[in-house]
Amino acid sequence: MFSETIELRGHIIDSLILPKVLDQILTHGANFKITEINIGQKRADQSFARIEVSAETGEALDELILRLRQQGAEVVERANAQVARAPVDGVFPRDFYVTTNQQTFVRLEGKEIEVRPAMINSAIALDRKRGTARAVKFFDVNKGDEIVIGHQGVRVVPVQRATTYTDLFQFINTTVDADEPKSAIIRGIGDELRRARGAKGKIAIVAGPAIVRTGAGQHLVRLIEAGYVDRLFAGNLFAAYDVERALFGTSLGTNPDLAVARGGHENHLRAINTIREAGGISQAVHQKILTGGILHACVRHDVDIVLTGGIRDEGPIPGVTTDVIEAQKVMRTKLADVTHVILLATVQHSLAVASMLAPDVKTVCVDIDPPAVERAIEHQPLQSIGLVTDVEPFLRELAGCLTESRVRD
């Protein structure tokens, strides 16, 4: 949303200039907020109104403001953002503005520029030549870059509640606790994913190892096969569990189908070794070494796999990005066009992904631990649903309603 503040003065009530201006704003598809109004008490007293006008695009706003000027509207000059140069590579100037993940604009030479991407905990770097403003992390900043300091000239636009339709995410917009019914919500999520796929949205799954350990992998495979997953974000451990389960029937030595499994803990390391020997997951699939499991389904159905590492990892499995800064960059790139994210049973990975999401990405978080759910969705107001539940029944029901409806279609 682009906005300007206008002021009206004079006999704007008796002349019906105020209602005319408000009507013109609405008929042009824009919105207004009267931030101040002072109505004259006596007949000859003049009145005053300060109105914030916002429109979808800068062009639409400019055109509207031009019309409103004819009605006597005066545009309130806003201050430009203040900037300072980065003193050295990787260091922001003191007092740098710290971003939220909400849509943000900076005013530069009288014009508002949207900061892209909308990224939390970043600074804002300006490129005057191109007229752009970029959210940057420490590793992105070079000595001499112009960085916004202070709050002047910065405007944040929180996600607005939809008024024209019922949006499941805005309607629920809370965490569904363990003792609350979930079937209807899961079906609603299913409908949303179906709509997203139809509208060429991009759906990302962030998968924790519990999916494999609880035996929910088969349901995720059904979702992948049905085309509901575009990208899979996971850690080295998830990949190792999935491969171990495919090769040996166990994950970290436990088998969801057997009370006592054979092979125990060593299967984990043998699985990693097998993939390393094959040269990677995709190679193992093509060499028919890996013939089942979630990653196998991903390779078979061209789902982008984004694997990143952790301190306690074994291996790593080839293809896992182990440098954390590099991993952040890869994840950000791979999340840039994502419209829907489902965070499944992983605290650290969910929090990492959640911190990189644009404010309008629809987010579902499923975890057995209530605080983990809360933390993962706290930055996506009006766009998220949290479900406190074991991941297995969630995935079973979601895959069920999406794949059964495929039959119905």
Partner 1 sequence: MRELLLCPPNYYGIEYEINPWMSRARGAEAALAQKQWEQLHATLLKLDCKVHLIAPQPGLPDMVFTANAGLTVGRTFIPSNFRHKERAGEQPFFADWMEKRSYKVSWLPENLYFEGEGDALFGGDVLFCGYKFRSDIQSHRAVADMLGCLVISVELVDPRFYHLDTCFCPLPDGGAFWFPLAFDEYGQRAIREHVPDLIDVLPDEAMHFSCNAVVIERDIVLPEGAPQLVTKLQDRRYRCHELPMSEFIKAGGACKCLTMFMPQRELV
Q: Which two tokens stand for residue 209?
A: 């190892």
Is the preceding omega at residue 316 within 30 degrees of 0, hence cis? yes
Token pair recorded at residue 245: 């389960």
Please tell me whether residue 15 binds partner 1 under the rule CB under 8 A: yes
Report CA Rg, the chain: 26
Token pair belonging to 354: 């959640």
Stretch near partner 1 under the rule CB under 8 A, chosen from 9-17, 226-234, 282-290, 382-390: 9-17
Q: Does residue 10 belong to the site contacting partner 1 (CB under 8 A)?
A: yes
Q: Residue 350 burial (CB < 10 Å; 0-12/13-18/19+)?
A: buried
Taking the CA atoms of 213, 216, 222 and 224 in sequence, report the sign of the dihedral they define: negative
Is 137 a binding residue for partner 1 by CB under 8 A? The answer is: no
Which one of 69-77, 84-92, 361-369, 375-383 is the stretch in contact with partner 1 (CB under 8 A)?
A: 69-77
For partner 1, give the closer residue by CB, 72 or 93.
Answer: 72
Q: Decide: is 121 part of the binding site for partner 1 (CB under 8 A).
A: no
User: Nearer Cβ to partner 1, position 72 or 117?
Assistant: 72
For tokens 């309008």, the residue is 360
- Provide, rounded to whole angstroms, the least separation between the CB of residue 77 and partner 1: 16
- Give the integer Cα–Cα distance in Å for 262 and 249: 9
CB 342 within 8 A of CB 367: no
16 part of the interface to partner 1, by CB under 8 A: yes
Q: Does 25 bind partner 1 (CB under 8 A)?
A: no
| Shortest reach from residue 21's CB to partner 1, in Å | 10
* Residue placing its CB nearer to partner 1 in the complex, 66 or 91: 66
71 vs 403, beta carbon nearer partner 1: 71
Q: Name the residue nearer to partner 1 (CB basis): 11 or 332.
A: 11
> Of the ranges 65-73, 126-134, 205-213, 263-271, which one interacts with partner 1 (CB under 8 A)?
65-73
**Which residues, 6+ apart, have CB-to-CB distance to 307 below 8 Å?**
234, 235, 236, 238, 239, 317, 319, 320, 321
Cα–chain-centroid distance for residue 361? Answer: 4
DSSP bridge pairs for 155: 105
With 0-12 / 13-18 / 19 or more C-beta atoms within 10 angstroms meaning exposed / middle / buried, residue 267 is buried
Question: Which of the stretches 43-51, 111-119, 342-350, 372-380 binds partner 1 when contact is defined by CB under 8 A?
Answer: 43-51
DSSP states of 81-107 as a string? PEEEE-SSTT-PPTTBPPP-SSEEEEE
For the CB of residue 50, give the shortest distance to partner 1 in the complex, in Å: 15
Piece in contact with partner 1 (CB under 8 A), picked from 17-25, 90-98, 295-303, 400-408: 17-25
- Nearest CB to partner 1, comparing residues 69 and 195: 69
Neighbouring CB atoms inside 10 A of 143's CB total 11
Binding mask 268-307 for partner 1 (x = CB under 8 A): ----------------------------------------
Alpha-carbon distance 210 to 107, whole Å? 47
Q: Binding partner 1 by CB under 8 A: which of 1, 28, 32, 46? A: 46
Exactly one of 28, 50, 72, 330 binds partner 1 (CB under 8 A); that residue is 72
- Closest CB 20 distance from partner 1, rounded Å: 4
- Closest C-alpha among 10, 68, 19, 17 to residue 39: 10
Among the listed residues 41, 43, 163, 302, the single contact to partner 1 using CB under 8 A: 43
Residues 6 or more apart in contact with residue 258 via CB below 8 angstroms? 249
CA angle 13, 19, 25 (to 5 degrees): 140
70 binds partner 1 (CB under 8 A): yes
Among 3, 5, 6, 17, binds partner 1 (CB under 8 A): 17
> Total residues at the site for partner 1 (CB under 8 A)?
16
Structure tokens at 321: 């990005």
Asked if 14 interacts with partner 1 (CB under 8 A), we say yes
- 């006596």: which residue's tokens? 42
Residue 207 bridge partners (DSSP): 344
| 71 contributes a contact to partner 1 by CB under 8 A | yes
348's tokens: 């650290």
Whichever of 38 and 348 has its CB closer to partner 1, that residue is: 38
C-beta of 44: minimal distance to partner 1 in Å? 5
- Measured from the CB atom, the residue of 66 and 269 that comes closer to partner 1 is 66
Residues contributing to the site for partner 1 (CB under 8 A): 9-11, 14-17, 19-20, 43-44, 46, 70-72, 74
